[in-house]
Amino acid sequence: MQLSAQVVGVADGDTITVLSDDRKQYKLRLAFIDAPEKAMPFGQVAKQALSDLIYRQTVTASIIDVDRYGRGVAVIEHNQRDINLQQVTAGLAWHYTQYTKGQSSTDFERYESAQTQAKSQKTGLWADQHPTPPWDWRKANRNN
């Protein structure tokens, strides 16, 4: 499903709320990436960067799945730019290779290349010597 919508909320570096042209609200998780949780290093930076890119902007959301929380999982585009990929390029999200169902091999390579480049240039969260992936952080903090 594809929709044109205005971004009305940014929860974190990989979750947004949009209002579609037909006035329906959708909570969307950015596909193929995992950004630091807000309490993690770079969590607030990732959220702010996403806000700076698309808050109050009209985007195209290509919804490819629904996650276990009922959020649409989507690739977000703004001005012909893949915003999900932009978060990886900026070093503010991991390419979430555990959940790449539906990602084309071309896009998989683009995301991997962007992450490799961000790592080698120590961009964003890669400035930390050993950044903790959000999935490991969530697992460690599940009972807290």
Domain parsing of the chain, residue ranges: 2-141
Angle value at C-alpha 66, between 16 and 135, nearest 5 degrees: 70
- pLDDT at site 137: 95
Residue 8 in this model has a pLDDT that exceeds 80:
yes
The highest-level CATH class for domain 2-141 is mainly beta
Q: What phi and psi values does residue 131 have, to the nearest 5 degrees?
A: -65, 140
- pLDDT at site 144: 59
Residue 100 in this model has a pLDDT that exceeds 90:
no
| Class of residue 31 by CB neighbours under 10 A (exposed 0-12, middle 13-18, buried 19+) | buried
Residue 143 in this model has a pLDDT that exceeds 90:
no
Average pLDDT over residues 130-143: 92
Q: What is the rounded CA–CA span in Å between residue 128 and residue 144?
A: 24
Residue 131 in this model has a pLDDT that exceeds 90:
yes
Catalytic residues: 29, 37, 71
- Provide the mean pLDDT of the chain: 96
- pLDDT at site 58: 98
Q: What is the pLDDT of residues 9-51, one digit of tens each?
A: 999 999 999 999 999 999 999 999 999 999 999 999 999 999 9
Beta strand spans in 2-142 (E): 2-12, 15-20, 25-30, 33-34, 58-66, 72-78, 81-82, 94-95
- pLDDT at site 25: 98
